[in-house]
Structure 1
């Protein structure tokens, strides 16, 4: 069957009749000769509902994947869930109504993982694998640190006792190892990852 074009609110859509009627009793009634069918002058079907919300409805009808509106900062978007529930009731989409009324979306946030890493100044920090569910923040701070000093004052041995060889040990003699206090910049990296169950199928009553 050829796809049909129709308008919802101010937005235009194209879909197969089968996609619309299999999950929506309202569309099934519409295409069965119901007097609810409204045509524009050019013959386009017009539905006087919210076009942005219908885009979500159509995505569900096509994939049967329930929507999850979750932000790692603000959590679930309950206003959008409520608005979508109104549209799901209008289009008579039983599975979607059941999912939203019972707030099953709360179970689609599997976990929140937090990693805290200490980074020394001057160390190359690899860019993290970024995605929509990962937030990375850096908190630099100055702190005092004891740094090893080579007895021969060799610059490349500073901070690295293992770099000193026979001549350095001879110069050291019986004296204790020498350390100096030094201000160093350390950075704390906090990675927060929200893990969602993206691939779960629709919840059926």
Structure 2
């Protein structure tokens, strides 16, 4: 017959509001005095199905449990809407209720603002196309938005070298002789439209170190709580 599993590693089922969660006692009591008391010998009573009822918002508790399991602080950020401050505030109240001091301090200090960084850069740019307006063809990483600023267009006439030798644009005679000696088609003049202005690049980066609880700090939280209770069988 298998020996009973120690209580501190045993599976625990929680009924939080209308939702049910499965985890271990160790995850719950490591940082939360609320759960250390609930799961102690003289703590709360289980329901008929063996679960513990917690009167809280199940959707918010999903984020609480994710933090308790891995020690990763939550980020609620959308590229278009920015941070979800209402959700941060609601989660802060839950952190206070469950006595999770590190998470509470992190949310109160708004450290999530340091996790997402937006960098703006500006650089002069121009492009040109023959017989028509320039077409934007800029390539950027997925986390970077590119925008043209202070755009103006200028019409001009220029020499086109069939061999795409840049120096020939300024020395038409040299280009003609080069093509003639090779028996190839000579260059020609063409009308261009040049677009000039500034390119604004907006790059969004995520600093994972701001959201990750260091192992040393996580270990220190264990010493602040009562030792795991192991029931005598």
Same fold, TM-score > 0.5, yes or no? yes
Aligned residue runs from structure 1 range 115-194, under 5 A: 115-116=121-122, 118=125, 120=127, 121=134, 125-126=138-139, 128-130=140-142, 134-139=143-148, 143-149=153-159, 156=162, 162=168, 164=172, 166=174, 168=176, 182-184=192-194, 190-194=200-204
2:13 maps to which residue? 5
Q: Are 1:101 and 2:116 an aligned pair?
A: no
Which residue of structure 1 aligns with residue 29 of structure 2? Answer: 21
Q: Which residue number corresponds to residue 184 of structure 2?
A: none
Contact 2:34/2:98 (<8 A) preserved: yes
The aligned runs of 1:56-135 (5 Å cut-off) are 56-109=63-116, 111-116=117-122, 118=125, 120=127, 121=134, 125-126=138-139, 128-130=140-142, 134-135=143-144
CA offsets 1:72-127 (integer angstroms, 9 cap, x no match): 55443322221111101111111112222233333434x4212446463468644x
Q: How far 1:15 moved relative to its partner?
A: 1.0
Q: TM-score, normalised by structure 1?
A: 0.69
Report the aligned-residue RMSD: 3.9
Of 43, 47, 55, 1:48 maps to: 55
Q: Is the 8 A contact 1:149 1:159 kept in 2?
A: no
Unaligned 5+ runs, structure 1 = 171-177
> Do the aligned partners of 1:112 and 1:193 also contact (CA within 8 Å) in 2?
yes
Q: Please, what TM-score do these two structures have when normalized by structure 2?
A: 0.62
Any idea what SS the aligned residue of 1:23 has?
coil
Deviation at 1:2, TM superposition (A): 3.6
Assess, with a 3 A threshold, how the Cα gap between structure 1 residues 95 and 158 changes in structure 2: closer, same or farther: closer
